[in-house]
Amino acid sequence: MDRFGLFGKLTAKEGHGAQLAAILLEASHAMKEVSGCELYVVSTAENEPDAVMVYEVWINEEAHKASLALEATQNLIMQAKPIIAGMERISTFNPLGGKGL
């Protein structure tokens, strides 16, 4: 099966970018225990203080979908929901390999 990659952007309500980034970093730590997750990187943009980008690589799309049902993931989603102003799936992609994979 092919790997599944996802690049997304979450925008927090004004002034909550750091809080959203902290929640997503907590998610990245939780992903260390999820065998299907190969990469989960959280980034911020210098010119958008309330935007947080997440770059994910999974063994397949099913592993990604399954992760959304995990209790830890659901708890973090509930924490983040009140401060999210918008979400954008920038791209899905097929990771072929490279450093870190």
The pTM score is 0.89
pLDDT greater than 90 at residue 19: yes
pLDDT greater than 70 at residue 16: yes
Show the tokens assigned to 37: 């997750």
For residue 41, what is the domain's CATH number? 3.30.70.100
Per-residue confidence at 22, pLDDT binned at 50, 70, 90? very high
Per-residue confidence at 11, pLDDT binned at 50, 70, 90? very high
Closest by CA to 85, choosing from 17, 8, 13, 21, is: 13
17 falls within a domain: yes
Show the tokens assigned to 90: 């920038």
98 falls within a domain: no
15 falls within a domain: yes
24 falls within a domain: yes
Domains identified in the chain, total number: 1
30 falls within a domain: yes
11 falls within a domain: yes
Contact assessment for residue 23 and residue 63, using Cβ atoms and an 8 Å cutoff: no
92 falls within a domain: no
Domain of 81 in residue numbering reads as: 4-49+58-86
Question: Exposed e or buried b for every residue in 27-66, given b needs 16+ CB within 10 A?
Answer: beebbeebebbbebebeeeeeeebbbbbbbbbeebebbee
91 falls within a domain: no
